[in-house]
Amino acid sequence: MVTLADLQVRTLGACTVKSPLAMYVGDRETNEYYVGETDRILYDDTIELITARGVPLDELPTFEAGGPRQSIFFDPATTKVGVVTCGGLCPGLNDVIRAIVLELHTHYGVRDVVGFQHGYAGIVEANGHDVVQLTPSYVARINERGGTILGSSRGAQDPSAIVDRLVELDIDILLVIGGDGSMRGAHNIGREIASRGLSIGIVGVPKTIDNDIPHIGQSFGFSTAFAKAAESIKAARVEVEAAVGGVGIVKVMGRHAGFIACYAALANHDADFVLIPEVEFALDGENGLLSLLARRVAERGSAVIVLAEGAGQDLIPADDRTDASGNAVLGDIAGFLRDEIGKDFANRSQPLTMRYFNPGYAIRSVPADASDSVYCTRLAQTAVHAAMSGRTDMVVGRRRHRFVNVPIPFVTAGSHSVSADGDLWLSVLESTAQPFSMR
C-alpha cells in the first residue's frame, strides 16, 4: 500500500538563495488553478479510497507540488547544468530541451548549460562524445524538428564513470529525459553521488511513447503518437473498403501497454478489433479472433485490426533474445496473424485482400503537435524549478492536471497499463463492438 513516506522527494539541503521567480509566487495561495508551495496533492481521488485508508489527514499519501519556489538551493550565477536524452525517440524531445535551456537562461539567469550526446554513453569520457554548449540561439528552432539534437542511445553505463565526469565538468544539476530504464539509471547515478557526499541534483523528465510510466499522468509525445497512428488506421479503412474481403492490420507501438492502440482506435472509430498486451485473446473457437473476423468481413465487407506490438505473445514461440536495454525481443505477432488469417480465409473459401500498415518509426520521429509542445514546455519548466530548489532523485509529472514532483524509486517500482476493468477499455469495446471476451 502506498504511504506518505513513499512520496517524499529527497533534497540536497536547505533553500537559502532568493529565487529570481520569487515575485511570481510570493502571494499565491492554493486555488482551483494553482497549488501553493506548502500545500500537497492527494494521491487518492475518491472519498471511498481516502476513507478506506483509515489514517489521519496528515498521514494520507500526497505528492509534493511542482512549480517555482520563493527560495532555491543553487545560486544561478555559479550553477552549471547538464542535459541528456536517453532511450528511443519520441515526439517532443527537442521541445523539452529547448524549454529547459530557455527557462534556465531567461528566468534563472543560468548561463552555463551543456548537452551530452548519445545518452548516458555521452557522459562517459572514454566513449569520446563531445559536449555541446546549449544556448538560447542554439535551441531557438529545434522544436520544429523531430528526434533529439543531442542524439540518444540505449544501455547502461557505469554510474561511477558518469559521476567522475560530472565532477570533472563541475556539473551541479543533471536533467535526464528518458524512459523507465533511463530513470533507473538516474537513480543509480544519484546513489553514487550520495555515497560520495556530493551536492549534484538529478531530475528526470519521463519519456515513454507507450505511456507506460505510472504516477505521472500522461507522458509527453503520447498524444502526437496516437494521432499519427490514427492516420494509419484511417488509411487502412479506406484501403480495405475498396477491396474484396478487405482486412487491414495496423501494428502500433506498445510492448506491455496498449494505450496507443486504444487511443488511436478511439480517435476515428475505424477499427473493428483492438488487440493489446493486457487482454488475452484466442485465435480459434466460436469466440476466437479468426471466427469473429470472418463474420465481421462477411457482414460488413471489410475489417480493420489495430494491433499493439506486444499483444498475443502467448500465441507464438518465446524468444530468449534481449535488446540493448535488456528488454525481451518480441515475437512477430503481425506476421503470425497475417499467416493465420490467410490460412483461415482460404479454408473457408472466403475472399481475402490483406493490407498491412506499420507506422512505428513515423510515429516516433515526427515533431510534437501543438498540444504536446505545450505539455513539454510545462514539464521542462517544472523540472527546472525542482532542480534549482535542490530536489533530486525525482521526476516531474502531471497528476490530474496538477504538476507534481515524484521520487524516482516510486515511478520505477511498477508499470502503467490499460486495465481490462477500466473505463478506457470499455470505451474501446463500445467503439469497435468487439466482444468483451475473445476466448
Closest CA to 249 of 309, 165, 187: 309
Contact between residue 415 and residue 179 where contact means Cβ atoms under 8 Å apart: no
Which amino acid would we find at residue 112?
A: D
Q: Are strands 112-116 and 80-85 parallel, antiparallel or unpaired?
A: parallel
User: Which of 210, 270, 372, 393 is an active site residue?
Assistant: 210
Residue 50's nearest CA partner among 36, 65, 62 is 62
Q: Nearest-CA neighbor of 273 among 253, 309, 244, 248? A: 248
Longest distance between any two alpha carbons in the chain, whole Å: 78
Q: What does the block give as the cell for 122? A: 555521452
**What CA–CA distance (Å, rounded) separates 200 from 189?**
10
372 catalytic residue (yes or no): no
Q: Which residues are catalytic?
A: 210
